[in-house]
Amino acid sequence: MPRIVCVAGARPNYMKIKPVMDALERRGAEVLLVHTGQHYDPAMNDVFFADLGIRPPDRFLGVGSGSHAEQTGRVMTAFEPLLVEVAPDIVVVVGDINSTLACALVTAKAGPLLAHVESGLRSRDWSMPEEVNRVATDRVSDYLLAPSPDAVENLRAEGYREDQIHLVGNVMIDTLLVNLDRARASDVLDRYGLTRGEFGLVTLHRPANVDDPEILAGLLKALGEIAGRCPLVLPVHPRAAGKLAELGAPGGIQLVPPAGYLDFIALQDAARVVLTDSGGVQEETTALGVPCVTLRDNTERPITVEQGTNVLAGRDPDRIVATVHQVLDAPPAPRRPELWDGRASERIAEVLLKGGTSSTRPRPTDQPGPTDRTLPI
* Ordered DSSP codes for 323-344: HHHHHHHSPPPP---TT-SS-H
Q: Could you list the beta-strand ranges (E) of the chain.
A: 3-8, 30-35, 59-60, 90-94, 113-117, 143-146, 165-167, 200-202, 232-235, 253-256, 273-276, 292-294, 310-312
> In this structure, what are the phi and psi dihedrals at residue 76, rounded to the nearest 5 degrees?
-60, -45
Q: Is 108 helix (H, G, I), strand (E, B) or coil?
A: helix
**From 35, 68, 116, 205, active-site residue:** 205
Q: Is 260 helix (H, G, I), strand (E, B) or coil?
A: coil
- Between CA 69 and CA 66 the distance in angstroms is 8
Question: Which residues, 6+ apart, have CB-to-CB distance to 87 below 8 Å?
Answer: 3, 112
Q: Is 232 helix (H, G, I), strand (E, B) or coil?
A: strand
> In this structure, what are the phi and psi dihedrals at residue 281, rounded to the nearest 5 degrees?
-65, -35
Picking from 19, 52, 7, 277, the residue whose alpha carbon sits closest to that of residue 172 is 19
Q: Could you list the beta-strand ranges (E) of 237-361.
A: 253-256, 273-276, 292-294, 310-312
Helix 344-353 × helix 171-184 angle, to 10°: 140
The H or E element that residue 157 is part of is helix 149-157
- Between CA 110 and CA 83 the distance in angstroms is 8
- Between CA 81 and CA 100 the distance in angstroms is 17
Q: How far is CA 229 from CA 236, 255, 322, 329, in A?
A: 21, 17, 12, 11
Active-site residue, 237 included: no
Picking from 111, 151, 113, 112, the residue whose alpha carbon sits closest to that of residue 302 is 151
Give the active site residues.
205
